[in-house]
């Protein structure tokens, strides 16, 4: 029930990017220096964010990253899912992997499903615009 350091850094980096003027190109080095996140780690995090469609990336000299959507349209859940994968408290919720020995006879799954939705909802209710506010 704890998010990984990568996801933590992702939130910090995204908030820093959202505080910048919209549309400006931001290099990983710049954001790393501004946030204090180690550069190689920032690179990896931003790469995943770009792969998930939250950032637009441009290669080569003068390249960099840019928010793919307005900050108000990006939720905390989006950022976490981009780095950690789907928000699913248990493996059986996603439905992809069926290696749970209890499959079928598990009586708590529907309840956990509801709890999972509640958690996800709480995270979707927080927008990046809010995270970028001064305090």
Partner DNA sequence: TGCCAATCGGAACGATTTGGTCCGATTAAC
Partner DNA sequence: GTTAATCGGACCAAATCGTTCCGATTGGCA
CA–CA separation, 14 and 126 (whole Å) = 13
**CB-wise, 30 or 88, nearer to a copy of itself?**
88
Q: Is residue 98 close enough to count as binding DNA by CB under 7 A?
A: no
| Span from 20-28, 42-50, 66-74, 124-132 in contact with a copy of itself (CB under 8 A) | 124-132
Decide: is 67 part of the binding site for a copy of itself (CB under 8 A): no
Vertex 120 angle, CA 118 and 126, to 5°: 110
Q: How far is the CB of 9 from DNA (least distance, A)?
A: 7
Position 62 contacts DNA (CB under 7 A):
yes
Query: Segment near DNA (CB under 7 A), from 21-29, 68-76, 109-117, 125-133?
Result: 21-29
By C-beta, is 19 or 63 nearer to a copy of itself?
19
Q: Does 59 bind a copy of itself (CB under 8 A)?
A: no
Q: Is 36 in the site for a copy of itself (CB under 8 A)?
A: yes
What is the rounded distance in angstroms from the CA atom of residue 134 to the CA atom of residue 105? 49
CB atoms within 10 A of CB 49: 24
Residue 94 within binding range of DNA, rule CB under 7 A: no
What DSSP string runs through 14-62?
HHHHHHSPTT--B-HHHHHHHH---HHHHHHHHHHHHHTTSEEEE-STT
Residue listed under structure tokens 């499959």: 103
Q: Please report whether residue 44 would count as binding DNA according to CB under 7 A.
A: yes
């Amino acid at each position: 029930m704890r998010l990984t350091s990568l996801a933590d850094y992702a939130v910090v980096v995204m908030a820093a990017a959202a505080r910048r003027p919209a549309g400006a190109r931001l290099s990983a080095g710049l954001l790393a220096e501004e946030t204090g996140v180690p550069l190689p780690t920032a690179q990896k995090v931003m790469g995943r964010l770009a792969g998930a469609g939250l950032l637009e990336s441009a290669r080569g000299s003068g390249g960099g990253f840019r928010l793919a959507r307005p900050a108000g349209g990006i939720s905390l859940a989006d950022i976490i899912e981009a780095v950690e994968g789907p928000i699913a408290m248990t493996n059986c919720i996603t439905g992809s992997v069926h290696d749970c020995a209890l499959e079928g006879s598990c009586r708590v799954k529907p309840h956990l499903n509801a709890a999972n939705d509640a958690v996800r909802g709480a995270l979707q209710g927080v927008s990046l615009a809010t995270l970028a506010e001064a305090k």
